[in-house]
Structure 1
Amino acid sequence: MAGFVCTSSPELSSAIAFVQNAEGTACSPFDCWLILRGLKTLCIRQDRAEENARKVVAFLANHPIVREVYYASYCPPDASGKRLQDQRIHLSQARTGGAVLSFTTGSVRLSRKICDAVHLFKITVSFGSCNSLIEMPCVLSHASIPAEMRSLPEDLLRLSIGIEHYEDLIADLEQAFRAALPGGAPSQRKSP
């Protein structure tokens, strides 16, 4: 991870520089070079991931196994109230919905089976990779939070979409949906 702080205060700038030096929190030259190298293609990678995400959202929104799709710039045709207001606010601040989306199936068991059955998506908690990722937050990233304190559906699947070809991503989800349904193909993957 890396970041930056901007300030017009010479005193604050000196204090930050002192902490960076004293604590050793500054990036190494090699890490800085890797960041600089990655920044040169960030726009291309992000555009591809966002384009893929929109196509995956369109697929999910029309699939009978999917109950609800959550994506910042997507609103179901029958949406009203807060969901429409949230979308308007988002689109006033961003040009797209990004590359992270989630959906529900109505069944924790079904969601687990889908997660187990994907082949191209990797099961892990992360964002922004070139590779597409899948996870069930209630099982992985939010598992340490007591269920009664979580404000998300137990059957929620979260996808971080990468730069693979969108048709491959959709085909992987489609085969995972088929495998997760009764009579589907047996899974070759262990649960998250």
Structure 2
Amino acid sequence: MLKNNQKTHASFGTRLVHAEPVDERHHGALSMPIYQVSTFHQFSLSEPGRYDYSRSGNPTREALEQAIADLEGGYAGFAFSSGMAAISSVFCLFKTDDEILLSDDIYGGTYRAITKLFPRFGIQAKFVNTTDINAVRDAITPATRAVFLESPSNPQMNITDIEAVCRLAKQHNLLTIVDNTFMTPYLQQPLRLGADIVVHSATKYIGGHSDVVGGLVVAAEKELAEEIGFIQNAFGAILGPQDSWLLLRGLKTLKVRMDQHEKSARRIAEWLDNHSAVERVYYPGLAHHPGHELAAVQAAGFGGIISFSLRNVEQVESFLNQITLPAIAVSLGAVESIVTYPARMSHASIPEAKRKQMGVTDTLLRLSVGLEEPDDLIHDFEQAFRCMGFASSDVRTYGNISVSK
């Protein structure tokens, strides 16, 4: 177990392994026990115990909340039953006639909540290109209370200058909320760039194994943390102890998984970028990506998500029918590779016209690169492209990889 003064000097990977508390209450257990309990006996009415009811606090969940707060560099963390429960609970900070600015190419679940659910309570959304700081500045009105952004965005991987947006927001007394799901606290720490709140779908990289659904929130300051804590307890969308334990376990291997995800993603992105079947590749690690230089400055890596466009819808259907290794599913960030068709999956709740305006076309695919050997994924994609009519005999050498052209 790391003491507080040791945590200050320990590297991120070491802090991940020792993220959860180990003390005499747990008999020296190296893994946080699962407190699968709904209520706690109170030994004294005049001096009630720390826990009374698991919605209001549970030792296993609290260990996870403390861990994510430490890793993100925040004041306090909160664990919710899903990523959308986390985001929706943060939206509960606002009231009737408040306006929230959001990235204009945001995740479909966030879009659905802020355009179809929260308007019932008088909270309004305005979508803006957050990669353009002037566009953000021009979009601010007297009703604006916050800026909510993704960087990289889902699924086009657009990069927003988080620090610049935070500076602008503070000038106008606005909150900045960053969805850090794609990057995790290992690769990017928005609070250190000036953000007020960070949210995660912990279902993704933090869990990492497609076996748990959860969401996390970290607040930078005490006052904001107290308000989110009140919402968590009052609204009640808390994460259970079993799922909290699974996320604590996932955190221990986050660094080694993210290192491999990114290493493989860079290689596959370069290969896709040189393939004649692919119209365009969206990956911040590519030198020609519009946000490449900014991503290299504000983050410690480029992540494991690649989006790419094929040339027509028929090719998309054929490709999905031919690949054998990746799962075709709606999630990401797992040990197995996952291909998502955003137009009909992650962003299906967005009206078609708006979806296309966002750049989520019917030819766009999103690849979450897993822990398979990258050569195996490349060979699988190559055989799929070959079945689509791209001859493998017409190749050139790209590094140590044969690439169709």
TM-score range, shorter chain: 0.7 to 0.9
**Cα deviation digits, residues 33-86 of structure 1 (max 9, x gap):** 21111111011111111111111112111211112111012134xxxxxx54x2
Aligned counterparts of 1:15 and 1:60: Cα–Cα separation in 2: 46
Report if aligned partners of 1:115, 1:136 keep a CA contact under 8 Å in 2: no
Q: Please give the TM-score of this superposition, normalised by the length of structure 1.
A: 0.80
The structure in which a higher percent of residues are strand is 2
Select the residue among 333, 338, 341 that pairs with 1:133: 338
Shift of 1:155: 0.8
- Tell me how large the CA RMSD over aligned residues is: 2.2
What is the aligned partner in structure 2 of residue 6 from structure 1? 219
Shift of 1:7: 5.1
What is the aligned partner in structure 2 of residue 110 from structure 1? 315
**Cα deviation digits, residues 127-173 of structure 1 (max 9, x gap):** 21111011221232223333322222321111011111111111111
What is the aligned partner in structure 2 of residue 30 from structure 1? 242
**Cα deviation digits, residues 14-34 of structure 1 (max 9, x gap):** 544444334433322222221
What is the aligned partner in structure 2 of residue 167 from structure 1? 375
Aligned counterparts of 2:351 and 2:237: Cα–Cα separation in 1: 33
What is the aligned partner in structure 2 of residue 50 from structure 1? 262
Query: Which protein, 1 or 2, shows the higher relative CO under an 8 Å CA cutoff with sep ≥ 6?
Result: 1
In the TM superposition, 1:72-91 aligns within 5 A as 72-76=284-288, 83-84=289-290, 86-91=291-296
- Local SS of the residue matching 1:157: strand
> What one-letter code is carried by the residue in structure 2 that aligns with 1:21?
N
Residue 17 to residue 45, structure 1, CA distance change in 2 (3 Å): same
> What one-letter code is carried by the residue in structure 2 that aligns with 1:106?
R
Total equivalences in the alignment = 175
Report if aligned partners of 1:121, 1:134 keep a CA contact under 8 Å in 2: yes
1:179 aligned onto 2:391: no
What is the aligned partner in structure 2 of residue 69 from structure 1? 281
> What one-letter code is carried by the residue in structure 2 that aligns with 1:114?
F
Residue 146 to residue 31, structure 1, CA distance change in 2 (3 Å): closer
Report if aligned partners of 1:112, 1:136 keep a CA contact under 8 Å in 2: no
Gaps of 5+ in 1: 77-82, 184-192
Q: Which has the larger radius of gyration?
A: 2
Report if aligned partners of 1:115, 1:135 keep a CA contact under 8 Å in 2: no
Report if aligned partners of 2:327, 2:339 keep a CA contact under 8 Å in 1: yes
- Local SS of the residue matching 1:131: coil
> What one-letter code is carried by the residue in structure 2 that aligns with 1:44?
V
> What one-letter code is carried by the residue in structure 1 that aligns with 2:262?
E
The structure in which a higher percent of residues are helix is 1
Residue 148 to residue 95, structure 1, CA distance change in 2 (3 Å): same
